[in-house]
C-alpha cells in the first residue's frame, strides 16, 4: 500500500474512501452519466463538510469561535488534508464529466484541407514585418514634416510681393 493510500485511509471514513476510489481512473470510466453526477454531488457534499469543519477548527484555534467538542481544537491539519483529498477526487470526477461532454473531433473533409492550405499560402505572401516608418537615423537628423503648410491663393502671394516692390520704389525715388 502506497503512502498516499495509507494517508487517505487514515483521513477518510469508509464511505468517503469508497467514493474517492470510484473517482480514480479504471472505476470512473465504467460509471454511467447519472452515476457520475451522483458521485460528484456526494464528493462535493463531503468536501464542503470537511472544509466547514476545518474552518470551525481554525476559528477555535484563534479563539474566535466556541469549541464544538469537549475541548477546543489544537490544530486542523487533518481536516485540511481531508478536504484536499476530497477536492482532488472531485476534480478527477469533474474532469471525466467534461471529457464526456466535449464532442470528439470529426476528420476534416478534403475541402476543409484545401481551404486551410489556401489560407496558409495567402498568409505566406503577406509581408511578415511591417515597415518601421519614419525614424531618425544617427544623431539629430531632422525629419522632414509632411504636414500641410498654410495654403494661400497664389494670386494673393503675387499681389503682396508686387505691393512691396511698389512701396520700395517709392521710398527709393
For the chain, give every domain's residue range: 3-101
- On average, the pLDDT of the chain sits at 87
Q: Are 79 and 50 in contact (CB under 8 A)?
A: yes
Summarize pLDDT for 120-129 with one digit per residue, the tens.
988 888 767 7
Please give the average pLDDT of every successive group of 10 residues along the chain, which has 173 residues. Answer: 80 92 91 94 96 91 81 84 94 92 82 93 77 70 78 85 94 90
3-state secondary structure of 60: helix
Please indicate, yes or no, whether the overall pTM of this predicted structure exceeds 0.75.
Answer: no
Amino acid at each position: 500500500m502506497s503512502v498516499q493510500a495509507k494517508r487517505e485511509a487514515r483521513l477518510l471514513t469508509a464511505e468517503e474512501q469508497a467514493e474517492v476510489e470510484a473517482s480514480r481512473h479504471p472505476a470512473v470510466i465504467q460509471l454511467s452519466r447519472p452515476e457520475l453526477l451522483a458521485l460528484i454531488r456526494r464528493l462535493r457534499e463531503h468536501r464542503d463538510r470537511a472544509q466547514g469543519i476545518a474552518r470551525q477548527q481554525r476559528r477555535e484555534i484563534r479563539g474566535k469561535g466556541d469549541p464544538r467538542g469537549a475541548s477546543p481544537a489544537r490544530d486542523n491539519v487533518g481536516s485540511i488534508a481531508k478536504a484536499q483529498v476530497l477536492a482532488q477526487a472531485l476534480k478527477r470526477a469533474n474532469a471525466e464529466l467534461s471529457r464526456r461532454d466535449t464532442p470528439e473531433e470529426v476528420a476534416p473533409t478534403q475541402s476543409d484541407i484545401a481551404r486551410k492550405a489556401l489560407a496558409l499560402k495567402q498568409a505566406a505572401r503577406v509581408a511578415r514585418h511591417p515597415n518601421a516608418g519614419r525614424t531618425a537615423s544617427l544623431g539629430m537628423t531632422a525629419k522632414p514634416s509632411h504636414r500641410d503648410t498654410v495654403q494661400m491663393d497664389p494670386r494673393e502671394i503675387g499681389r503682396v510681393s508686387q505691393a512691396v516692390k511698389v512701396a520700395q520704389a517709392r521710398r527709393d525715388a
